[in-house]
A and B are shown apart, each in its own frame.
Chain A
Amino acid sequence: MNKKIARKADTWILDGNRAAAQGAKLSRVQVIAAYPITPQSPVTERLSEFVEKRELDAQYIAVESEHSALAVCTSASMVGARTFTATSSHGLAYMHEMLHWAAGARLPVVLACVNRAIGAPWNVLNDQQDSVSQRDTGWIQVYARNNQEILDSIIQAYRIAESIYVPVMVCYDGYVLSHTEMPVDVPSQEAVDRFLPRYKPHTILDPANPKNYNLVTLANPRINAEGVLCHGYMELRYLLQEALQNSRETIVKVGQEFGELFGRSYASMFWEDRLDDADVVIVAMGSLAMEAIVAADMLREGGHKVGVLGLRVFRPFPKAELARALEKSRLVVIFDKNISYGLEGATCSEIKSALYGSPARAVIRDFIVGLGGRDVKAREMADAVKRSLLSVNEGDLNREYAEWICAI
Chain B
Amino acid sequence: MPNGYVLFEGDYAMKTTAVNITEKEYLLPGNRTCPGCALSLAYRYILKALEGQVIVTVPASCLTVLHGMYPVTSVTVPCVNTPFATTAASATGLVAGLKALGKEGLTVLAVAGDGGTHDIGIQALSAAAERQTDFLYICYDNEGYMNTGNQRSGSTPLGAISGTTPIVGKQQNQKDIAAIMEAHGIPYVATANASYPLDLYEKVRKAKMIRGTRFIHVFVPCSPGWGFPFSETIKIGRLAVETGWVILYEVEDGVFRLTSASESIAEKSNLKPLREYLVEQGRFKNITEEQIGILQRWVNARWKRCLDRAGDSQS
Contact = CB atoms under 8 A, between A and B. Distances in A.
Contacts of B78: 204-207, 209-212
Contacts of B96: 31, 33, 59, 61, 72, 76, 81
B54 A207 contact: yes
B72 A72 contact: no
A224 B75 CA distance: 14
Mostly, the B contact residues are mixed
Interface in A229-246: 230
A75 B100 contact: no
Contacts of B94: 75-76, 78-79, 205
B82 A75 contact: yes
Given A75-B82, A207-B106, A211-B78, A216 B93 contact: no
B86 A67 contact: yes
B100 A31 contact: yes
Interface string B38-59: 0000000000000011110100
B124 A68 contact: yes
A31 B96 CA distance: 7
B313 interface: no
A189 B101 CA distance: 20
A222 interface: yes
A33 B93 contact: yes
A98 interface: yes
A212 to B, nearest CB: 4
B101 A30 contact: yes
Given A101-B83, A213-B81, A218 B124 contact: no
Interface core residue of B69, B77, B89 (most chain A CB under 10 Å):
B89
Given A31-B93, A71-B82, A79-B93, A222 B100 contact: no
B91 interface: yes
Given A59-B100, A76-B96, A80-B97, A222 B90 contact: no
A62 B65 CA distance: 32
Nearest to B75: A212
A74 B100 contact: no
A226 to B, nearest CB: 9
Interface core residue of A33, A58, A209, A214 (most chain B CB under 10 Å):
A214
Nearest to B26: A210
A233 to B, nearest CB: 9
A380 interface: no
Interface string B12-28: 00000000000000000
A92 B52 CA distance: 36
A64 interface: yes
Interface in B79-105: 79-83, 85-86, 88-94, 96-101, 103
Given A97-B83, A98-B86, A230-B71, A73 B53 contact: no
Interface residues of B, number: 46
B212 interface: no
Contacts of B123: 64-65, 68
B76 interface: yes
B92 A68 contact: yes
Nearest to B96: A59
Interface core residue of A69, A74, A97 (most chain B CB under 10 Å):
A74
A224 B73 CA distance: 9
Contacts of B55: 79, 205, 207
B65 A216 contact: yes
B67 interface: yes
Interface string A213-229: 11111100011110010
A77 interface: yes
A65 B124 CA distance: 8
Nearest to B68: A215
Contacts of B98: 79
Nearest to B53: A207
A64 B88 CA distance: 11
A308 B186 CA distance: 59
Interface string B152-168: 00000000000000000
Interface in A265-317: none
B89 A63 contact: yes
A65 B73 CA distance: 32
A213 B80 contact: yes
A330 to B, nearest CB: 49
Interface of B: 52-55, 57, 64-65, 67-73, 75-83, 85-86, 88-94, 96-101, 103, 106, 123-124, 126-127, 130-131
16 contacts: A63-B92, A64-B123, A65-B124, A69-B89, A71-B83, A72-B90, A75-B97, A77-B97, A79-B98, A98-B83, A101-B83, A207-B77, A211-B79, A212-B68, A214-B81, A223-B71
Interface of A: 30-31, 33, 58-59, 61-65, 67-69, 71-81, 83, 97-98, 101, 204-207, 209-218, 222-225, 228, 230
Given A59-B100, A72-B92, A207-B106, 14 more contacts: A59-B97, A61-B93, A61-B96, A71-B82, A72-B96, A74-B93, A75-B57, A76-B96, A81-B97, A81-B100, A207-B52, A212-B79, A216-B64, A216-B70
Closest 7 CB pairs of A and B: A79-B97, A75-B93, A64-B127, A76-B97, A68-B89, A71-B86, A71-B89
